[in-house]
Amino acid sequence: MREAHTVAQVRAAEAALAGQPLMDRAVAGLAATCARLLARRRGRVYGARVLVLAGSGDNGGDALFAGAALARRGAAVTAVLLAPERAHPGALAALRATGSQLTADQDVGLADFRRADLILDGIVGIGGRGGLRPAAQPYARAGRRGLLVAVDLPSGVDADTGEVAGEALRADVTVTFGTHKPGLLIDPGAEYAGTVQLVPIGLRPPAAPVQALQHADVAALLPRPGAESDKYRRGVLGVLAGSERYPGAALLAVAGALHGGVGAVRYQGRPGEEVVRRHPEVLLTPGRVQAWVVGPGSGDEAPGALADALADEVPVLVDADGLTELARLGPGALAGRAAPTLLTPHTGEAARLLGGGVTAQQVAGARLHRARELAERYGAVVLLKGSTTVVARPDGAVRVNPTGTAWLATAGSGDVLAGFTGALLAAGLGAFDAASAGAYLHGVAGRIAAADAPVTAGEVAQALPAAWREVCGV
């Protein structure tokens, strides 16, 4: 499990270790990574051109100290100071002692930025407020041929949220200290961070408000039939999806559901004949279910379908047209429910659920905040889809999904996700776990099915068993 902590938590954990050489540990890890990258790229550190961009705080100090370590190994280091009168004095002295060039001339900095083998972004770290300031903005736009290593986080990215106000530096590698920061895991910030490497420095922060599961965590959540299992005990998922107008959504939601670990899928929508023709395993008869999926392709039938599903005191996953209907009804529609509800909006649906003129673009720019806001307002677990899928619980706990591929942005892949995740709910996982495991495996399936080429939603569904096996290591 990767854990991400807020700036306030990092500061508190740092304060508890006062007197320990945290900066030395951070710098040692940073310099080692830079040396490794240079050795991989050009065979050796000696003779490499390194540019250090140093701001006024300890983030700049880390970058300057690491620059000094690389200079001692024979790199030709130039440091550009963005706030020369406030640069970290000890780090400045260390770099000066190596005979490296120090300058406040941004023209020199920009020229070096274009030709350096490696650039260290130490403009600002967790002490950053607001977007990149004007002096640093040209670096966000300039071209370069070398690698950019962000110190702790890319300058311009908000550490707590991943929001980017204006511009940010785009890193190939981010070397982060002590713990991950939410902004490194959530787009748009995550997109700027490149590959993230964590350097342990001995911090002992509290429970993480934001987590990213890994294979073993997901494997531990997945249902597994035992000797006592039968198809009913494994759970039955009810699917209220598809309509005369959108029969495909029913087929795709069922295709996802059949791979989600339930004993049976009960389809209760309109195009039942087509569903059974394609998926003969499906039950069409009414009967008890352990969870419902409602909404994919429901079209005009969404109001009735949503009302039916919500009236049943079992967990309900609401997607697509079900969400549009829920947005019309408002959070009150869920108020009386004792069983969990899981909402799976994309950014446009999330904007509709939030109302008040919020746009899809605003949701995409502030995923963490908006997913939490929705979860709290509706008293439901929210799985906010998109380039970074964020799963939020009403109490504010968040899991960020690390799997997936942009090839998943294809019609119907959300229907597969809804069916699959609904099946995990029916198999007995809690809503937060079902959403996290559903998004995770759907992302792995997307990667397997796409293999760097266009993919259809049906192929993603077919790849779910391979994803399940990969995650469980079988």
Residue nearest to ligand ADP as judged by C-beta position: 414
Give the position of tokens 């002992």: 204
- 259, 441 Cβ separation under 8 angstroms: no
298 labeled part of a ligand binding site: no
Q: Exactly one of 385, 393, 399, 447 binds ligand ADP (CB under 6 A); which one?
A: 385
Q: Could you give the angle at which helices 413-426 and 320-329 cross, rounded to 10 degrees?
A: 80
Q: Is 145 in the site for ligand NPW (CB under 6 A)?
A: no
- Provide, rounded to whole angstroms, the least separation between the CB of residue 468 and ligand NPW: 39
Strands (E), 192-340: 195-199, 210-212, 236-240, 264-267, 291-294, 316-318
Contact stretch for ligand ADP (CB under 6 A) within 101-109, 122-130, 207-215, 382-390: 382-390
Cα torsion 258, 262, 267, 273: sign: positive
403 labeled part of a ligand binding site: no
Measured from the CB atom, the residue of 64 and 343 that comes closer to ligand ADP is 343
Q: Is 370 in the site for ligand ADP (CB under 6 A)?
A: no
- 152, 84 Cβ separation under 8 angstroms: no
Number of residues located near ligand ADP, criterion CB under 6 A: 18
Q: Exactly one of 154, 256, 295, 414 binds ligand ADP (CB under 6 A); which one?
A: 414
| Tally of helices (H runs) and strands (E runs) in the chain | 20, 17
Contact stretch for ligand NPW (CB under 6 A) within 49-57, 185-193, 276-284, 382-390: 49-57
60 labeled part of a ligand binding site: yes
What is the helix (H) or strand (E) element at residue 367, kind and residue range? helix 367-378
- Provide, rounded to whole angstroms, the least separation between the CB of residue 155 and ligand NPW: 7
Q: Is 415 in the site for ligand ADP (CB under 6 A)?
A: yes
The option from K ion, ligand ADP, ligand NPW, none interacting with 14 (CB < 5 to 8 A, set by class) reads ligand NPW
181 labeled part of a ligand binding site: no
Dist CA 312 CA 240 (whole Å): 13
Q: How far is CA 68 from the centre of its chain?
A: 34
Measured from the CB atom, the residue of 17 and 283 that comes closer to ligand NPW is 17
How many Cα atoms occupy the beta-carbon half-sphere of 208 within 13 Å? 20
Within 10 A of 428 (CB to CB), how many other CB atoms are there? 17
Checking 352-360 for CB contacts under 8 A at 24+ apart, the result is 352/323, 352/324, 352/327, 353/323, 353/326, 353/327, 353/378, 355/327
Nearest to 282 by CA among 259, 301, 299: 259
The option from ligand NPW, ligand ADP, K ion, none interacting with 121 (CB < 5 to 8 A, set by class) reads K ion
395 labeled part of a ligand binding site: no
The option from K ion, ligand NPW, ligand ADP, none interacting with 412 (CB < 5 to 8 A, set by class) reads ligand ADP
Question: Where do contacts with K ion occur on this chain (CB under 5 A)?
Answer: 121, 125, 150-151, 155
Question: Where do contacts with ligand ADP occur on this chain (CB under 6 A)?
Answer: 320, 346, 385-387, 389, 404-406, 408-409, 411-415, 417, 442
Query: Which positions make up the binding site?
Result: 58-62, 121, 152, 155, 249, 297, 346, 385-389, 414-415
